[in-house]
């Protein structure tokens, strides 16, 4: 079989003729027709703050049918609500995001207010945009006849530009509706306080400054990029000594930082007291002598001691000569790390920022806004007329303890109880002054040189939230 196949192959090769001419190439087929053009898309270009605002919104937003400018406003509103102001710290609870219902006592007589439902539910925010602006600018409480809102920091928000307030309103109208009827307040004598019209000048601080109008005489918007002009106007302290020598960029950063600090609510926690509370010439004026020097006390809500790890905390002194910004090695990079991590990153070991500091919101701010904050605060801190003389002594948090939460470093657990109930707190650490102890504790310098729980009238009052 193999031989036959071989011979056949040889014979086939021998009988093949010469190669013929090459054939012509076939013609290419015709190109198909082009498809129809697609419809043009609607590109939406957002600012950095608006994009961050949309990204950090903790709930789904109803954006169907919204135009580009409307989405920009909603994003800006979310940025204010979720990165700058921390609205959820008061208005969110067990029922849902921004649905209100949290009770806030505000005097020794047991009077209180309850945070409002801000969601677009029939039990929530049913104000028109115009009424919302009125509430934020004058303090008008629309749930009553002619009273003002108590605890709600409208005295700060009133200085915001209308566009920013409208952006917050736009955001609140697209979050999920949550049914949570508003509870009645018990305002006591504060019921007599009535709305305060928005003035044409900032007259709440050390200097009275005219406010740049929102619009010119023809109704056109007067530009104030980033609120830098408004921020300068609402700075409660005198101009820093070297303000006339600021560069254009420095001036803008100072103004933006002031706008963020003073149109938000930093003052309400880090100034003690934030405003004059006695009727008279200083009523509701910023307490400039204590501005941003801390000392306000925050009692950890019942049941949340194990969560936050504290029984009570005290706001930090920021700009005073012994304050946060005067700590050795402080710079902008460290400031950013502290905000980003929620810890005193420079401590060994790092210690957490105590409740209710909303660092988890502030870390979402743009780097430029964080830098503006830092610039404004350091300008105040290092100015001879402002920061160095304000040396309020503040204390770290009083740590929570119970049968399952032990105290660090040889400290012992002081169990709460009695009247008033001061909670459970770690005591017994070495001290030379009250500054070495937890919030409202005292140093027993006479005998033990150890920190003890509040045990006299002054320290007990502090422990109940009266401040120092």
Q: What is the pLDDT of residues 148-162, one digit of tens each?
A: 999 999 999 999 999
**284 and 204 Cβ atoms separated by less than 8 Å:** yes
Helix axis angle, 68-79 to 162-172, nearest 10°: 90
| pLDDT value for 163 | 97
Task: Give the range among 7-11, 101-105, 196-200, 268-272 with minimum mean pLDDT.
Answer: 7-11
At 27, the pLDDT band (50, 70, 90 cuts) reads low
Distances (CA, A) of 370 to 76, 148, 262, 320, 376: 16, 32, 14, 20, 10
Q: Return the HEC string of the chain.
A: CHHHHHHHHHHHHHCCCCCCCCCCCCCCCCCCCCCCCCCCCCCCCCCHHHHHHHHHCCCCCCCCCCCHHHHHHHHHHHHHHHHHHCCHHHHCCCCCCCCCCCEEECCCCCCEEECCCCCCCCCCCCCCHHHHHHHHHHCEECCCCCEECCCCCHHHHCCCCHHHHHHHHHHHCCCCCCCCCCCCCECHHHHHCCCCCCCCEECCCCCCEECCCCECCCCCECCCHHHHHHHHHCCCCCCCCCHHHCCHHHHHHHHHHHHHHHHCCHHHHHCCCCEECCCCCCECCECHHHCCCCCCEEECCCCCHHHHCEEEEECCCCCCCCCHHHCCCCCHHHHHHHHHHCEECCCCCCEECCCCCCHHHHCCCCHHHHHHHHHHHHHHHCCCCCCCCCCCCCCECEECCCCCCCCCCCCEEECCCCCCCCCCEEECCECCCHHHCECCCEECCCCCCEEECCCCHHHHHHHHHHCC
Range from 171-180, 191-200, 286-295, 346-355 that averages highest in pLDDT: 171-180
Query: C-alpha 168: how far from its chain's center?
Result: 13
Q: What share of the chain has pLDDT > 70, as a percent?
A: 90
Mean pLDDT, range 138-144, rounded to an integer: 94
| pLDDT value for 197 | 95
Tokens of residue 173, six digits: 């109208």
| pLDDT value for 25 | 52
| pLDDT value for 31 | 60
CB-based burial, 139-165: b 16+ in 10 Å, e otherwise: bbbeeeeebbbbbbbbbbbbbbbeebb
At 410, the pLDDT band (50, 70, 90 cuts) reads confident
- In sequence order, the β-bridge partners of residue 275 are 286
At 28, the pLDDT band (50, 70, 90 cuts) reads low
Query: pLDDT (tens digit, 9 = 90+) per residue, 232-279?
Result: 999 999 999 999 999 999 999 999 999 999 988 899 999 999 999 888
At 178, the pLDDT band (50, 70, 90 cuts) reads very high
**155 and 284 Cβ atoms separated by less than 8 Å:** yes
What is the pTM assigned to this prediction? 0.87
- In sequence order, the β-bridge partners of residue 443 are 451
**pLDDT value at 431 more than 60:** yes
| pLDDT value for 5 | 32
**404 and 334 Cβ atoms separated by less than 8 Å:** no
Return the half-sphere exposure (C-beta side, CA atoms, 13 A cut-off) of residue 153: 22
- In sequence order, the β-bridge partners of residue 441 are none
Mean pLDDT, range 373-392, rounded to an integer: 84
Mean pLDDT, range 368-393, rounded to an integer: 87
Mean pLDDT, range 65-90, rounded to an integer: 96
- Residue 284 region by backbone torsions, left for phi larger than 0, else alpha for psi between -120 and 50, else beta: left
| pLDDT value for 445 | 94
Mean pLDDT, range 203-219, rounded to an integer: 94
Tokens of residue 240, six digits: 């820093």
């Amino acid at each position: 079989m193999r031989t036959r196949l071989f011979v056949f192959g040889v014979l086939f090769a021998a009988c093949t003729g010469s190669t013929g001419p090459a054939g012509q190439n076939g013609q290419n087929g015709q190109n198909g027709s082009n498809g129809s053009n697609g419809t043009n898309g609607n590109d939406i270009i957002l600012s950095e703050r608006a994009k961050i605002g949309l990204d950090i919104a903790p709930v789904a937003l109803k954006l169907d049918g919204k135009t580009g400018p409307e989405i920009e406003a909603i994003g800006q509103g979310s940025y204010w609500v979720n990165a700058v102001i921390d609205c959820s710290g008061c208005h969110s609870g067990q029922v849902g995001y921004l649905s209100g219902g949290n009770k806030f006592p505000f005097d020794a007589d047991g009077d209180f207010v309850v945070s409002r439902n801000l969601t677009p539910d029939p039990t929530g925010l049913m104000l028109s945009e115009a009424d919302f602006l009125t509430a934020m600018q004058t303090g008008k409480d629309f749930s009553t006849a002619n009273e003002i809102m108590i605890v709600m920091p409208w005295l700060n928000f009133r200085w915001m530009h209308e566009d920013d307030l409208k952006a917050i309103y736009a955001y609140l109208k697209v979050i999920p509706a949550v049914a949570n009827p508003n509870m009645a307040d018990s305002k006591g004598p504060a019921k007599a306080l009535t709305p305060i019209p928005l003035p044409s000048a900032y007259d709440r601080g050390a200097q009275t400054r005219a406010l740049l109008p929102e619009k010119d005489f023809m109704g056109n918007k007067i530009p104030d990029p980033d609120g830098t002009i408004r921020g300068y106007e609402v700075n409660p302290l005198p101009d820093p000594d070297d303000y006339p020598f600021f560069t254009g960029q420095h001036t803008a950063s100072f103004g933006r930082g002031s706008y963020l600090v003073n149109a938000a609510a930093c003052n309400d926690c880090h100034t003690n007291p934030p405003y004059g509370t006695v009727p008279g010439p200083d009523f509701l004026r910023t307490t400039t002598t204590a501005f941003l020097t801390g000392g306000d006390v925050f009692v950890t809500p019942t049941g949340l001691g194990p969560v936050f790890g504290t029984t009570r905390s005290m706001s930090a002194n920021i700009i005073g000569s012994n304050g946060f910004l005067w700590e050795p090695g402080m710079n902008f990079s460290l400031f950013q790390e502290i905000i980003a991590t929620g810890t005193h990153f420079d401590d060994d070991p790092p210690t957490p920022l105590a409740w209710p500091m909303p660092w988890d919101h502030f870390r979402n701010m743009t780097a430029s806004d964080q830098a503006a904050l830092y610039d404004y605060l350091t300008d105040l801190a290092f100015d001879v007329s402002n920061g160095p003389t304000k040396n309020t002594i503040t204390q770290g948090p009083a740590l929570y303890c119970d049968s399952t939460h032990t105290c660090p470093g040889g400290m012992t657990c002081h169990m709460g109880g009695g009247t008033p109930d001061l909670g459970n707190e770690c005591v017994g650490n070495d001290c030379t002054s009250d500054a070495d102890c937890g919030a409202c504790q005292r140093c027993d310098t006479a005998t033990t040189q150890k920190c003890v729980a509040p045990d006299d009238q002054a320290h007990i009052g502090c422990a109940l939230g009266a401040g120092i």
